[in-house]
Amino acid sequence: MEEKGNGDSPGRHLRRSRLGAGAAAVMALVLALAAVLELIEPEAAVEGCGALAALVLAFYVLMRSGFSRRFADPGMVAAQLAAAFLLLAYLTYRAEDTPAAISVLYLVAMLYGVLRLERTTLIVLSIVALVAHGTAIFLLIDHGHRINLAASWTQFGALALALFWFAYLSGAVLRLRARLSEAHRALHDLAADARDKASRDPLTGAFHRHHLVEALEREVSRADRVGKPLSVARLDLDRLRAVNEDYGHAAGDAVLRRFAAVAHGVIRDVDVFGRYGGKEFLLVMPDTDLKGALIAAERMRAALEREYLPELRGERRVTCTIGIAQHRKGGSATHLLGRAESALNLGKAAGRDRIVGLGEDGRPLAAEAR
């Protein structure tokens, strides 16, 4: 037995079907106990257990094959409950009496429905159960079976009250499940937000060094595995110490934040950017060769050059120096970072405010002064 579909995957339906199988197992156990206590005939109990097993198997096959996904209720819970109620009505007639054990089984099945179906559906199923059970009683009377009419109709009335109470209760159960689901989503979002904040530099909002190193190691492994290029850029803000001395550390912090914002505005979604330490930043560029990395770096350098910084009152232009290296297959993340640092140092030595790419032979492949 299974839940009403809400976009759940077939695998999820199959996992949840264990609850329906468990409900069927409880019903079979009650039938066996009733037979042992001589409340119903053993033959009727055997028929009931066999029919329950057949129902579970049939609906499992329907869900496993994907056929059930053609319906609004992929779990076919309502269909399973309707089949169970018809089976119980048959057992009532087969037992040639209205034993209390059968009424208990109606409630066991309905309890499963309370956990899975909406109130309107359960009301309809309650009517189906009562019509089927009442029909079984009338057939017993019509065929001349001697039954205790007072006890039978008393059980029928109690069953009707219990079924409709369960249907009413389902509204509260569904509301509770909705609140629990909402609380779970909120906790998941809070946990994701906490993880994201834990991986970011508090000043700039960019990723911090530890996250950058982990991301680079993953990308190096991926590049070796799939044979795609990978480039890394180390970016250094030029003469930030002078900014701190002339305008104060608050202005220097504002420059760091502004540079991070500028960088996030020009990088791709797949790129990983963050503060590597002090005034140095790191950009990891998957699926990018050295030529493409040089173009991306120039885009970032030019964007920073155009940026107006009110903290500096228009008296100073902030620039950056960028060193780039492309990953060599089989090389380590540490080696790649070292080569990018060498390129950065070459750019600083050449006068800063420029981009240097380090070629395979260790020589500057491109250097552009501004």
pLDDT in the model for residue 62? 78
Q: Are residues 173 and 47 in the same domain?
A: yes
Whether residue 200 is contained in a domain is answered as no
**What is the percentage of the chain residues whose pLDDT exceeds 90?**
37
How many domains in the chain?
Answer: 2
Whether residue 197 is contained in a domain is answered as no
Whether residue 2 is contained in a domain is answered as no
CB 39, CB 99: distance < 8 Å:
yes
Q: Are residues 329 and 261 in the same domain?
A: yes
Whether residue 201 is contained in a domain is answered as no
Sheet with 280-286, side-by-side order of all strands:
272-277, 280-286, 230-237, 320-326, 354-358, 364-369
What is the tens place of the pLDDT at every residue in 79-121?
888 888 888 888 888 776 656 667 778 888 887 778 778 888 8
Q: How confident is the model over 144-167, as a mean pLDDT?
A: 81
Can you give the C-alpha Rg of the chain in angstroms? Answer: 36
- Residue 293 structural domain: 209-369
Q: pTM higher than 0.95 for the full model?
A: no
Whether residue 202 is contained in a domain is answered as no
Whether residue 5 is contained in a domain is answered as no
Collapsed DSSP state (helix, strand, coil) of residue 366: strand
Q: Are residues 217 and 143 in the same domain?
A: no
CATH of the domain at 230: 3.30.70.270
What is the tens place of the pLDDT at every residue in 5-19?
444 444 555 555 666
Whether residue 17 is contained in a domain is answered as yes
Domain boundary residue, one of 192, 220, 235: 192
Whether residue 96 is contained in a domain is answered as yes
What is the tens place of the pLDDT at every residue in 166-190?
888 877 777 787 788 888 888 888 8
Q: Are residues 180 and 264 in the same domain?
A: no
Q: Are residues 304 and 353 in the same domain?
A: yes
Q: Are residues 276 and 153 in the same domain?
A: no
Q: Are residues 169 and 31 in the same domain?
A: yes
Domain boundary residue, one of 192, 225, 246: 192
Write the single-letter amino acid at 360. Answer: E
Q: Distances from the Cα of 255 to the Cαs of 180, 228, 320, in angstroms?
A: 45, 34, 11
